[in-house]
Amino acid sequence: MPKFQLLLLDAGVIIAAHELGIWSRLINKCTISITRTVLEQVTYYWRDERDNPYQIDLSNDIVEQKIQIIDVPLDQVKIFRLKFDPTYLDRMDPGETDSLAYLCHASEQWLILSGDGFVFRILGRLARSDQGISLEEILEKIGLGRAVKWQFTKEFRLKYTKQGEQDSITGQGLK
């Protein structure tokens, strides 16, 4: 089976894949890319409400070219951010912003794999709903299907994508 191509992951998905114990299988079945900003976000995070630290070290995966790191040019990020009004700008996380800016400027048809409703809302607002996918959907497609938290489900993705499409109808979000 050929690898699933052109996937951009956000930090939440990388963390979830590690928590589920499927990270290595995911990167073996998919060609994964992340922005440098996302890489910096996942290197260290707080795992639970008791503040037990958990480290994610992707250095071997990078060296072995199992994941690709993308440096998004600052001008692409600026151009992307200029499209939005403050109601959207105030909710954009740096890693997600880099990934979305890259996706919107790329000539290829990338998919962004996220667990953040606002990412899917932005895609819906930009009429790019087909470029978002949930962890649940990817896992199903590559034969690793399993129960995931709500924010990683297809239903979650569809809910927030629809909100973005509604924003498009009412004129919210863009300048």
Q: Tell me how far apart the alpha carbons of residues 136 and 142 are, in angstroms, rounded to a whole number.
A: 10
Q: Tell me how far apart the alpha carbons of residues 75 and 64 are, in angstroms, rounded to a whole number.
A: 30
Q: Tell me how far apart the alpha carbons of residues 72 and 14 are, in angstroms, rounded to a whole number.
A: 19
55 membership: H or E segment, kind and range: strand 53-55
175 lies in a domain?
no
Task: Express each pLDDT in 21-57 by its tens digit.
Answer: 999 999 999 999 999 999 988 876 655 556 666 678 8
Phi-psi category of 51—alpha, beta or left, where left has phi over 0 and alpha has psi -120 to 50? left
Residue 120 structural domain: 4-170
156 lies in a domain?
yes
- At 41 the pLDDT is 86
Q: The whole model's pTM is what?
A: 0.91
Task: Express each pLDDT in 102-154 by its tens digit.
Answer: 999 999 999 999 999 999 999 999 999 999 999 999 999 999 988 999 999 99
Instruction: Indicate the number of domains in the chain.
Output: 1
123 in Cβ contact with 161 (< 8 Å): yes
